[in-house]
Structure 1
Amino acid sequence: MEHQTYQDAIAEYELKESEQSLLLYAHYGRAIYMGQALEQQTINMLAIDDIVKNKPESQDTYEAIWAKYDHSKKMVGIMTALLQEAYHISDVDMEELREVLAWRNNLAHRYFRFNDVLFASHGGRKRMIKDFVDFANSIRAVEEKLSVYIAAYNRGAGLSTESIAKLLAERKEEWKDKVIDDTYDSTVKYN
């Protein structure tokens, strides 16, 4: 995703009033999506670390490792502590990741409840867009930092770009023939 400034977002926003709400929701959706993608990236990092350390010998063991993280009830604090240990992430960078994940939770669960009054005015909606753009830019900054830790981890674990791609391709392969229609159950089932 391209880097966007608040000024760019507001230039888009200065449309007809009927289109402003749609654009605000688009910025909100992008922010939530980026937050979810970052959270999934941390889950993938933990699962890959588990796979590297435990070298599963069966497909069932391999799938159990992914399920352990995909359907975990572990709190973000525990997950980030495991991530910091496995990837040797500095305290400063880890705190930034935790703050961004907390911000994601706020956007997903509380933002509109506590900022609904902003939605009622033109200036308030512009402020909301600023919040969403700022969040997206924070995500990008954290992702850039994580990429350095991931590269160092991969070198230390002897993982190549190809082997990581293979691990993730195997994961995607499990989903390739899934039928996603009205009968598909998308609810999360915790073990």
Structure 2
Amino acid sequence: MVRDNTYIKIKPKEVPEPESLDEKEVYAFFGLASYTAQCLEKALVNLAFTYSLTDKNIVTQEDWDALFEDVNKKTFGRLLGMVKKDLSTSDEVLEELKQALDKRNWLAHDYFFDSIGQFHTESGRMTMIKELTEMIKLFNKWDQFIEGVYLQIWQQHGLTEEVILREIEKLKAENA
């Protein structure tokens, strides 16, 4: 969901338990894994955009929108490259974020191709669901980490949780 170039995510609750081991469960978990990967990617957009603001002279709404659009077009890998230089954290954290990128790329481009043999048996589908569940947890973990970083920066500039919650309420009212 986008409002004034700031992504507001609807967070999933805990990772659900599968209701069965049929094909549609694999698709459902794949969808949730894709969703959480996208949330992580948009968290990187928000962080990269936040860091980019310090390097730019933003005077108009058009400048703001153009910068956001430029950052938002970047791939997960390019976003990670952008924030690496500004994110003061350990090499271990950066390596784990790189692993999340690799998992996201595999999920988006090769997951079903690589897993097709498993998809045709109940035990294989169970393995796939477990694997997808681990990816969901991984993406959620790093989404929350990155969100914590940019929210802390935003708070330093007056964009508090209360302001964000008011915007969410406005969005809900507009879409009711």
Coarse TM-score class (shorter-chain normalised): 0.7 to 0.9
Give the structure 2 partner of residue 68 of structure 1.
70
Matched, 1:132 2:132: yes
C-alpha displacement at 1:113, in angstroms? 0.6
Matched, 1:21 2:35: no
Which string of whole-angstrom CA distances, capped at 9 and with x for unpartnered residues, describes residues 149-191 of structure 1? 3344346xx323339957xx6xxx9xx9xxxxxxxxxxxxxxx
Contact 2:43 2:143 in 1 (8 A): no
Bigger proportion of residues as helix: 1
Give the structure 1 partner of residue 40 of structure 2.
38
TM-score by length of 1: 0.71
C-alpha displacement at 1:144, in angstroms? 3.1
Distance 1:64 1:165, change over 3 A: farther
- Note the residue ranges of structure 2 that are not aligned, 5 or more in a row: 1-11
Give the structure 1 partner of residue 160 of structure 2.
162
C-alpha distance in structure 2 between counterparts of 1:30 and 1:147, whole Å: 19
Contact 1:89 1:149 in 2 (8 A): no
Given the alignment, which residue of 58, 61, 64 partners 2:60? 58
Give the structure 2 partner of residue 2 of structure 1.
13
Larger Rg: 1
Give the structure 2 partner of residue 80 of structure 1.
80
Equivalent residue letter for 2:44? T
Distance 1:119 1:97, change over 3 A: same
RMSD: 2.8
Matched, 1:145 2:153: no
Large movers: runs of 4+ above 6 Å: none
Distance 1:75 1:30, change over 3 A: closer
Distance 1:102 1:140, change over 3 A: same
Equivalent residue letter for 1:29? G
What's the secondary structure of 1:13's corresponding residue? coil
C-alpha distance in structure 1 between counterparts of 2:70 and 2:162, whole Å: 19
Give the structure 2 partner of residue 17 of structure 1.
none
Contact 1:88 1:149 in 2 (8 A): no
Aligned length: 158
Give the structure 2 partner of residue 116 of structure 1.
116
Give the structure 1 partner of residue 9 of structure 2.
none
- Note the residue ranges of structure 1 that are not aligned, 5 or more in a row: 15-19, 177-191
What's the secondary structure of 2:113's corresponding residue? helix
Which string of whole-angstrom CA distances, capped at 9 and with x for unpartnered residues, describes residues 71-102 of structure 1? 23x671x4313212223232211211111121
Given the alignment, which residue of 42, 46, 49 partners 1:47? 49
TM-score by length of 2: 0.76
Farther-moved stretch of structure 1 (88-97 vs 129-138): 88-97
